[in-house]
Amino acid sequence: MLKRLTFLCTALLALSACSHNGSDNNAAQPAAPAPAQTSAPAAPATAATPAPASTAAATPAAAGTAAAPAAAGTSAAAQKPAAPATPFVDDGKWVEGKNYFTIDPAQPTTDPNKIVVTEAFSYACPACNAFHTTADQLAQALPANAEMTYLPVSFRPDENFPLFQRAYFAAKALGVAEKTQDAMFDAVWKTGELASDDLTTGRPKPQSAWPTLDDVAKFYAKYGVDPKEFVAVANSFSINTQMKRADDMVKAYAVDGTPTIIVNGKYRYTPGSAGGYPQAIELAKWLVAKEAAGK
């Protein structure tokens, strides 16, 4: 595992995430350590929820029906055969305000006929990198009445998050986001071709050495995308609009760190608040069953 993650794991022996202010306001103390969550810069809360909202300027109403379709994309893992539905049983294991948090007001989703499970993430977030194989497992564990989507965040410009938010939406527009989701994490955290950190030292590179949009275009060229077309699409008005809408949704969901899981625009939690990676999958399935049961 890369040295930066090792350092973070040593410093914080609890599940957390990449957050606004370096702490996970939603997290319960779990039994096992995991990489620290990246946070966005602190901002006043705008919703009646335990965690503060991001600094994106929008109201929940402005981030409603129009925002959701642009902000989320279906994962490749979700295309596999659906898992069996789980009956809803409330045995007191999952506690609102501790393990998961209500989004107030609830937000519209991309598909009214599905229960939408969304991961707020960044390719540049080390905690998201550590979680992404679990996110794939979560997508595979969802029943047929649910689907997995992704919401890229931009709240850490000091860690190059906006570049990767733009890259995700451009890749989605060009039809390659699904098949490159895991490969993008590898390009940042394994091969280092798109890394903003020096993977040998675990320290940030000078901003002059950060990957650029042209570097990202070269990565997607391996998947059949013309680099000039990628750059043009990435810089288009449409992608700028999608990025703004994504920021609006981050604020409406009161996401203050990554990875954060949002279920049907009504609930959010982190792997830390769930109690661990396996529990994050279990809680998602429980909240999906809760929604399906109308509870």
Would you say 127 and 291 are in contact if contact means Cβ atoms under 8 Å apart? no
Q: How many CA atoms lie within 13 A of 69 on its CB side?
A: 6
145 belongs to a structural domain:
yes
Q: Indicate the pLDDT class of residue 77, thresholds 50, 70 and 90.
A: very low
Which of the two residues, 292 and 32, has the higher pLDDT score? 292
Say yes or no to pLDDT of 252 above 60.
yes
Q: What is the pLDDT of residues 262-289, one digit of tens each?
A: 999 999 999 999 999 999 999 999 999 9
DSSP 124: T
Instruction: Give the pair of three-digit tokens for residue 16.
Output: 């957390």
Mean pLDDT of 95-111: 95
Which of 78, 161, 80, 102 minimizes the C-alpha distance to 127? 161
18-19/37-39 β-pairing: parallel
47 belongs to a structural domain:
no
Say yes or no to pLDDT of 59 above 70.
no
Which segment of 6-15, 29-38, 167-176, 203-212 scores lowest on mean pLDDT?
6-15
283 belongs to a structural domain:
yes
287 belongs to a structural domain:
yes
Mean pLDDT of 91-119: 95
Which of 99, 87, 44 minimizes the C-alpha distance to 276? 99
Q: Indicate the pLDDT class of residue 90, thresholds 50, 70 and 90.
A: confident
Say yes or no to pLDDT of 220 above 90.
yes
260-263/267-269 β-pairing: antiparallel
Which of the two residues, 16 and 191, has the higher pLDDT score? 191
34 belongs to a structural domain:
no
Mean pLDDT of 59-70: 35
Q: CA geometry: angle at 185 spanning 125 and 28, to 5°?
A: 40
Would you say 232 and 88 are in contact if contact means Cβ atoms under 8 Å apart? no
What pLDDT sits at residue 83?
74
The residue count for the chain: 295
Taking CA atoms, 243 is separated from 130, 153, 234, 238, 281, in Å, by 24, 8, 10, 9, 27
Q: Which of 52-61, 163-172, 197-206 has the highest mean pLDDT?
A: 163-172
Mean pLDDT of 224-248: 98
- The DSSP-derived string for 19-50 is ESSSS-TTPPP-SS--PPEEEPPP----SSSS
The span from the CA of 135 to the CA of 139, in Å, is 6
CATH of the domain at 193: 3.40.30.10
Say yes or no to pLDDT of 72 above 50.
no
Q: Tell me which H or E stretch contains 115.
A: strand 115-121
Which segment of 22-26, 127-131, 210-214 scores lowest on mean pLDDT?
22-26
Would you say 41 and 97 are in contact if contact means Cβ atoms under 8 Å apart? no
What pLDDT sits at residue 57?
32
Say yes or no to pLDDT of 115 above 80.
yes
Say yes or no to pLDDT of 229 above 80.
yes
Cα diameter, the chain: 55
Contacts of 182 (CB under 8 A, 6+ apart): 132, 133, 136
225 belongs to a structural domain:
yes
Compute the mean pLDDT over every residue in the chain, rounded to the nearest whole number: 81
Q: Give the count of domains, the chain.
A: 1
* pTM beyond 0.85: no
Mean pLDDT of 238-262: 97
Domain that includes residue 131, residue range: 3-9+53-292
Beta-bridge partners for 96: 100
71 belongs to a structural domain:
yes
Q: Indicate the pLDDT class of residue 85, thresholds 50, 70 and 90.
A: confident
14 belongs to a structural domain:
no
257-258/18-19 β-pairing: antiparallel
